[in-house]
Amino acid sequence: MTDYNIKIENVVASTKLAEEFDLTKIEAEFEGAEYNKQKFPGLVYRVSNPKAAFLVFTSGKVVCTGAKNVDDVHTVIADMAKKLNGIGIDTLEKPDITVQNIVASADLKAVLNLNAIAIGLGLENIEYEPEQFPGLVYRIDEPKVVVLIFSSGKLVVTGGKSPENCEEGVEVVRQQLDNMGLL
Amino acid sequence: RLRKWQRRIRVSNATERNLAFALSELDRMASALGLPRTVRETAAVVYRKAVDKNLIRGRSIEGVAAAALYAACRQCSVPRTLDEIGEVSRVSRKEIGRTYRFISRELSLKLMPTSPIDYVPRFCSGLSLKGEVQSRGVEILRQASEKELTSGRGPTGVAAAAIYIASILCGERRTQREVADVAGVTEVTIRNRYKELAEELDIEIIL
DNA sequence: GCTTTAAAAAGTAAGCT
DNA sequence: AGCTTACTTTTAAAAGC
């Protein structure tokens, strides 16, 4: 009944794997690695199983994005460290991995009147410009997430640091819409 | 002290010069878009409020002027799209949109999203369609709104589709291309919207 | 502010057959 | 007309312009 099909679509995390990296060397050793210093200061490297994309910087810091869940983030980063070790690059022992952002989708399973929701939530609290984008943007303070609300009843929750944040975000929206009789 | 006065005069001159430039910009853009004097005056009021709240800092006069005009058109129910404002401004559509969001929030303009209905008079006159067709189009849009066929859709596209249908029902048919050109959308969009409207509102279209 | 990554939502757009 | 690709919005980190 409380089935909103909440699904995590993307997890972004950052960590420090070494004190410094020779990106030119990594680019030469890793197949498919892209590095154009003038274009972007980080090296781009994509992996699969689990699927994810890395941004590697000369400072030794790394950004991992595209993972479907938090466990995968740890798995892929551990794999990445192993690969680096494999080409003779040492990595830090216990990297501090920080989840920076989680994107999730959900479905309230009801057709929504976005104009009514805009008024209900307060025009000063939302952004809804159908000429520009079909979704209504609702920023929540607690948890601090942003929810995109569509007329189909589908939602996108982003900005959360944990899966719980995303679930809470969906619940906050569901309850507010319900209280206004717009669900 | 004389210095102090000179500085004030200098600042005053700069402020007046900037305001004069902004107002001439508003006039130039409004003329290019064929907007009535009331809209220019509304835009000038919005711009002055932005100046009074120091919202120009870190932004270009042209950008704020374009955003003020965009907001004024909506306040006066004679909306122009961001693309249309962008065509007569040196500032990009993206910058105008971001500046609009900023001043809209800071000045608490609280504008509802643009209604497709507000585009009907302009599009119809652009197609030389009579008041009867306009009324039909507006009626179709009211029904569409009640049946939740406008949420999340581009206002210009829905308005164009309603006018396309109304022109046929009134025996003054305009082609999808003619309506698309006036509304600034593609024929594909008109087709998608009008099929949805015709089906959901049970309107028989015989071509 | 921009650059780069990934991902969903739904609408609109452009190119090709 | 359809299909495919792609851009609109939001989010966060990284280093540098």
Is pLDDT above 80 for A15? Answer: yes
Residues of chain B whose beta carbon is less than 8 angstroms from a beta carbon of chain A are: 81-82, 97, 101, 105, 108, 110-114, 145, 148, 151-156
Nucleotide nearest to A12 (CA to C1'): D12
**B111: which chain A residues are within 8 Å (Cβ-Cβ)?**
123
Is pLDDT above 80 for B150? Answer: yes
Minimum Cα–Cα distance from B145: chain A residue: A113
In the structure encoding, which two tokens stand for residue B97, read together? 């949109």
In the structure encoding, which two tokens stand for residue B56, read together? 């120009």
Query: Domains in chain A, please, with CATH?
Result: 11-99 (3.30.310.10), 108-179 (3.30.310.10)
Residue A171: half-sphere exposure toward Cβ, Cα within 13 Å: 9
Q: Which of A113, A123, A148, A156 to mutate to test the interface with B (most CBs of B within 10 A)?
A: A123
pLDDT at B157: 98
Buried b (16+ CB within 10 A) or exposed e, B65-103: bbbbbbbbbbbbebbbbbebbbebbebebebbbebbebb
A103 neighbors A67 (Cβ within 8 angstroms): no
pLDDT at B9: 82
Binding residues for strand C (Cβ < 7 Å): A 9-10, 12, 34, 39-42, 44, 46, 51, 53, 55, 63, 65-66, 101, 103, 105, 133-135, 148, 150-152, 154, 156, 158; B 94, 98, 152-154, 157-158, 184-186, 188-189, 192-193
In this prediction, residues A38-58 reach a mean pLDDT of: 98
pLDDT at A117: 98
- ipTM metric: 0.96
Residue B54: half-sphere exposure toward Cβ, Cα within 13 Å: 1
Under an 8 A CB cutoff, do B152 and A115 touch? no
What does residue A137 show for φ and ψ, rounded to 5 degrees? Answer: -100, 120
Hey, which residues does A107 pair with through a beta bridge? A154
In this prediction, residues A98-123 reach a mean pLDDT of: 98
> From CA A101, how far away is CA A65, in angstroms rounded?
9
> From CA B203, how far away is CA B206, in angstroms rounded?
10
Kindly report the three-state secondary structure assignment for every residue of B3-51. Answer: HHHHHHHHHHHHHHHHHHHHHHHHHHHHHHCCCCHHHHHHHHHHHHHHH
Side chain identity, residue A139: R
In this prediction, residues B102-109 reach a mean pLDDT of: 98
**B116: which chain A residues are within 8 Å (Cβ-Cβ)?**
none
